[in-house]
Structure formats: structure tokens, C-alpha cells
């Protein structure tokens, strides 16, 4: 009888031990399950915070259209040679024809006009858009290849300043392309991570464009001061206007991209809503 009781007591302890051995694993499993669900919720929350909403996507596309317009204007301005127009008095050579010139970052052009075709009230030769039967001759600047200076109206454009303005324009185009790639990746991936670098690229490219215009204007002034034997009337042309508009557009686009990344609305921050209960 006593032996039977001992055997039953040992069987009970064995069963309790086995149950206890299984309990930690079950608790760990439950704890792991709760932790996994918490991690999944944390990852979902993080991705939802960094994700681009539908309203943001529309604003990003609209802002990107502004930036693309600036990029196109920059390409147009850099590729054309109508940065500055130069014209001596129309009767300076005492001839039936007169000369006018224009140049940009890469090349210069000289156009011949008939004095009889020019407006009698105009003192200088031109304008360049005048429909005339005169000849036009364009040549690329040789200081990019052979280092030889170009002479226009016995004056020499400042080589170093022209090259510096050209480099500023090229670097600005490179930053614009980088910013455009960042925006395309942000929209395709649906994340805000690429908006900040795109904003910085566009703002810096706009600053470089304005530096390019400032340096080019200084090169024009240096060109005019190099020789005083031929008086010249000069004015900045439409290529400079394209570059100035492009610089303003890409800076505005970069600032708008930065605003879209902010975790709060700047309008609500600056102009808080009034409490209707007061």
C-alpha cells in the first residue's frame, strides 16, 4: 500500500516537472509573438511616416514641373550665344554697311547690316533681329581648345572670366540633373528620403546660375574696357533673361521641396488657427 502511494507520488511529480518544462517555451513563444507584432507595427509606422501621401505626390509633381521648366531654360540659355549684343555707331565706318556682334559662353557672331535698312532714329548698328541681306559669321571661342583669344572690334573678351562663368553654368546643370534624378526616385519609390538632397541640389544650382551671370557681366565690362578706340553700345540679350528666370525657378522649386519634407505645415506654424470658443 505504501509502495503504491510512493509510485503515484513520483508519477505526479514527473508530470508536474514535464508541464513546468513546457511552460517557459510557451511563455517565450508568446513573448516572441508579441515582440514580433510590435516590431512589425513599428516598421509599418516608420514606413508610413516616411511614405509620400497622395496629396504630397501631387504637390511634388507640380513643383517638379517648375524645376523642369528651369532646367529647360538653363539648357536654352547655355546653348545659345545671345548673351550680350555689341554695336558701334552705324556711321562709324563711313560706309554703306555697319557691323554688330553678339556672343555667349561658347561662340561669337558678327553680322553685317545695310545702313539704309536701319531705323533713322537709331544711332547704333542693328538690331540683331533686323531682317537684312547682310552676312553673318559665327565662330567658336578658340581659348577652349588652343588658348587663342578672340578679337571683336579690336577688343578681347576676358578669357578667365568667360571660362569661369561657363564652369558655373555646367556645374549648375549637373546639380539640376542630380536633383531631377532624386525626385524621380522619390516618386517611383514613394518615399520622402530623396526630397532633401533634391532640394539642396536645386537651390545650389540656382545660386551657381546667378554667380554665372555676375561673372559674365564682369567679363563684359572688362571686354569693353580693354580698348577705347571703337565706342560700343552694349546690352544683355535674351539668353541672359532665360538664365535669370531659370535660376529663380530652380531656387523656388528647391525651397518648395524642402517645405514638403517638413514634419509640420509652415502656414499653420506662422499663422495658427484662432480658437472659435474665445
Q: Residue 100: inside a domain, yes or no?
A: yes
Q: Residue 30: inside a domain, yes or no?
A: no
Range of the domain at 260: 51-264
Note the pLDDT of residue 226: 82
Question: Distance between CA 167 and CA 78 in Å, rounded?
Answer: 11
Note the pLDDT of residue 260: 87
CATH at 155:
1.20.140.150
Q: Residue 156: inside a domain, yes or no?
A: yes
Q: Residue 277: inside a domain, yes or no?
A: no
- % the chain with pLDDT above 90: 38
Note the pLDDT of residue 263: 64
Strand order in the sheet with 84-87: 136-140, 107-114, 97-103, 84-87, 233-236
Q: Residue 36: inside a domain, yes or no?
A: no
For residue range 240-264, list pLDDT tens digits in order. 999 999 999 999 999 999 988 876 5
Count of domains for the chain: 1
Output the CA angle 206-208-214, nearest 5 degrees: 110
Note the pLDDT of residue 193: 86
The SS3 assignment for 136 reads strand
Q: Residue 83: inside a domain, yes or no?
A: yes
Q: Of 245, 244, 238, whose CA–CA distance to 83 is shortest?
A: 238
Q: Highest-confidence range of 52-61, 109-118, 129-138, by mean pLDDT?
A: 109-118
Q: Residue 13: inside a domain, yes or no?
A: no
Instruction: Report CA-CA distances (Å) from 80 to 23, 74, 107, 238.
Output: 81, 10, 9, 9
pTM for this prediction:
0.76
Output the CA angle 160-162-164, nearest 5 degrees: 70
Angle between helices 159-189 and 195-225 (to 10 degrees): 160
Average pLDDT for 10-30: 50
Q: Residue 225: inside a domain, yes or no?
A: yes
pLDDT at 171 over 90: yes
pLDDT at 269 over 70: no
For residue range 150-165, list pLDDT tens digits in order. 788 888 888 889 999 9
Question: Distance between CA 95 and CA 73 in Å, rounded?
Answer: 39
Amino acid at each position: 500500500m505504501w509502495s503504491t502511494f510512493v509510485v503515484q507520488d513520483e508519477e505526479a511529480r514527473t508530470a508536474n516537472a514535464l508541464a513546468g518544462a513546457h511552460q517557459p517555451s510557451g511563455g517565450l513563444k508568446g513573448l516572441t509573438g508579441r515582440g514580433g507584432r510590435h516590431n512589425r507595427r513599428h516598421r509599418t509606422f516608420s514606413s508610413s511616416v516616411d511614405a509620400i501621401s497622395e496629396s504630397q505626390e501631387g504637390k511634388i509633381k507640380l513643383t517638379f514641373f517648375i524645376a523642369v521648366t528651369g532646367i529647360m531654360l538653363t539648357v536654352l540659355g547655355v546653348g545659345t550665344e545671345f548673351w550680350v549684343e555689341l554695336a558701334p555707331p552705324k556711321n562709324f565706318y563711313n560706309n554703306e554697311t555697319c557691323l554688330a556682334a553678339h556672343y555667349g559662353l561658347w561662340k561669337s557672331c558678327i553680322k553685317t547690316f545695310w545702313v539704309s535698312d536701319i531705323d533713322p532714329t537709331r544711332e547704333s548698328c542693328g538690331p540683331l533681329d533686323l531682317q537684312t541681306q547682310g552676312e553673318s559669321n559665327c565662330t567658336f571661342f578658340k581659348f577652349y581648345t588652343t588658348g587663342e583669344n578672340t578679337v571683336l572690334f579690336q577688343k578681347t573678351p576676358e578669357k578667365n572670366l568667360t571660362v569661369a562663368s561657363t564652369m558655373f553654368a555646367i556645374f549648375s546643370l549637373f546639380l539640376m540633373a542630380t536633383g531631377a534624378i532624386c525626385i524621380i526616385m522619390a516618386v517611383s519609390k514613394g518615399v520622402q528620403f530623396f526630397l532633401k538632397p533634391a532640394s539642396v541640389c536645386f537651390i545650389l544650382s540656382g545660386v551657381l546660375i546667378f554667380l554665372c551671370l555676375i561673372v559674365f557681366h564682369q567679363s563684359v565690362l572688362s571686354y569693353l574696357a580693354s580698348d577705347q578706340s571703337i565706342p560700343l553700345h552694349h546690352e544683355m540679350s535674351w539668353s541672359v533673361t532665360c538664365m535669370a528666370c531659370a535660376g529663380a525657378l530652380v531656387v523656388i522649386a528647391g525651397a518648395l521641396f524642402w517645405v514638403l519634407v517638413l514634419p509640420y505645415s509652415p502656414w499653420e506654424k506662422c499663422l495658427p488657427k484662432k480658437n472659435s470658443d474665445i
